[in-house]
Each structure stands twice: as structure tokens, then as C-alpha cells.
Copies of this chain bind each other. A is one copy, B any other.
Amino acid sequence: GPVARMGTELRCQCIATHSKFIPPKSIQDVRLTQSGPHCKNVEVIATLKDGREVCLEPTAPWVQLIIKAILAK
């Protein structure tokens, strides 16, 4: 919900990560959240252009490539 988006998460937001490749062009934004007292995991949440939110695996090479692709545009 909106609270999670204000940088005040009280717990982990992802219970599982999406394992299939998502083309960068279908992604609107990607949020990387550091681990901390609220959650021991780094979390990567992509918002797709259709409004869906999906959790991605921070260490997956394709996730890192997508992030690199967004930054390089």
C-alpha cells in the first residue's frame, strides 16, 4: 500500500520473486530497497506499465541487466 512507498516499510514486501525474464520496455519503474531492521533482504520491486508490481531477485543476472539497461538509456 501507499505506506510501503513512503520509505517506512515495517516488514519485507516480497514473499517470492518472479523468475521469468521481463522485457525492460514493459517496466515503468524499479525500486531497490536496502535491507534493514524492517527486512533482512534487499528487495527489488518492478512496477510494470500495466500497473502490476512484481518482486525480482536482486542477484539474478537478468535483473541486473535490466537495471543497467534502464540506467544506460
A contact residues vs B (CB 8 Å cutoff)? 2, 5-7, 24, 27-36, 42, 44, 47, 51, 58-59, 63-64, 67-68, 70-73
Q: Is the CB of B35 within 8 A of A28?
A: no
Q: Which residues of B contact A42 (CB under 8 A)?
A: 70-71, 73
How many copies, total?
2
A58 to B30, CA, bound (A): 13
The winner among A6, A32, A36, A47 for most chain B CB atoms within 10 A is A32
Known: A2-B5, A30-B32, A34-B27. A71 touches B47 (CB 8 A): no
A28 to B58, CA, bound (A): 15
A27 to B33, CA, bound (A): 9
